[in-house]
Amino acid sequence: MTEQKVNNNQQLYYAGIIAVVVVILLALWLLFSKDKAPEPLPVLTPEVNEPAVPAQVVQPEPETVEPEQQAETPAPRPEPMRQAEPEAPLPTLEQSDVEVKQRLLTLNWRTGLAGLFVTEQMLRNFVVQTDNIAQGQQALGHPLFQPLQQSFSEADDDKMQLNEQHFKRYEPYIQLLESVPPEQLVPLFNRYEPLLQQAYAELGYPDELYKNKLLAAIDMLLATPEVAYPLALERPAVVYTFADPVIEQLPAAQKQMIRLGPDNQQRVKALLRQYKQVLQQ
């Protein structure tokens, strides 16, 4: 019962409406003491040698009514989830270099190596190289990286076989590719896939899926055979060739993998397997 009701009862009591007060108090006592046995009412005993005084019934005092327990504080409403900011509109293929460069260079590439990327015609060059590698070729004039700082002819005094000095030339490029996991690059691929598909259609494949060609290029490089080093070279004309005719007859893309050297080749193959797995998910 609320405090306001108790005060009203007291006002009725002091106003002399005793009967009403007794009824209300008894009702309250019964209501809040259902599980308690009622205490016997005390009876006044008359003193000896004095006229007996009629027993006076003492009304039981109303039990203090505990205020109702405060309602538990309702749990705060969770803040509405903030909607993710809408993705920026996709640029056109012709104007994509600025955004692609910006997003690519925000990734955690190894310090000092991101400058190896060629940042012009990035998507088109990537598609052209993919198409050529899938066919076992290499596309000149569509570079993805800056050229090697040390040319092959300057690598070693003995220019007639591949050795460790030649393989070291590729170390910065492999460190660059290893510094960012494929899981960080695949979202970029997913964003620009429509533009990659457009560039692929321009090469004469309007009805083919570019992603399939990318996987085919990865498979071409992974199929590079294991060879025994060192490898003897020949120079019948301007360029060097492999002295072993079996190796020389391999697709150009696979011969480039062999030029990386055995350790570098295994590192690149490990990366390619990771990319293939992520792209197929």
pLDDT number for residue 151: 66
pLDDT digits (tens, 9 = 90+) for 200-214: 999 999 999 999 999
pLDDT number for residue 215: 97
pLDDT for 3 beyond 50: no
DSSP 3-state of 233: strand
Give the position of tokens 């505990």: 66
Q: What residues does each domain of the chain span? A: 3-32, 97-280
pLDDT digits (tens, 9 = 90+) for 72-125: 566 667 666 666 667 789 999 999 999 999 999 999 999 999 999 999 999 999
Token pair of 216 as six digits: 């085919």
pLDDT number for residue 265: 97
pLDDT number for residue 28: 38
Q: How does the average pLDDT of the chain come out, rounded?
A: 79
DSSP 3-state of 158: coil
Check if the beta carbon of residue 177 is closer than 8 Å to that of residue 268: yes
Q: Which of 183, 192, 196 minimizes the C-alpha distance to 275? A: 183
pLDDT number for residue 152: 65
Contacts (Cβ under 8 Å, ≥6 apart) of 172: 113, 116
Q: What confidence tier does 63 reach under pLDDT thresholds 50, 70, 90? A: low
pTM, whole model, 2 decimals?
A: 0.68
pLDDT number for residue 56: 52
> Distance between CA atoms of 269 and 263, rounded to whole angstroms?
10
pLDDT number for residue 76: 64
> Distance between CA atoms of 227 and 261, rounded to whole angstroms?
10
User: What is the rounded average pLDDT of the residues 143-169?
Assistant: 77
> Distance between CA atoms of 5 and 36, rounded to whole angstroms?
23
Run of H or E including 242 = strand 241-242
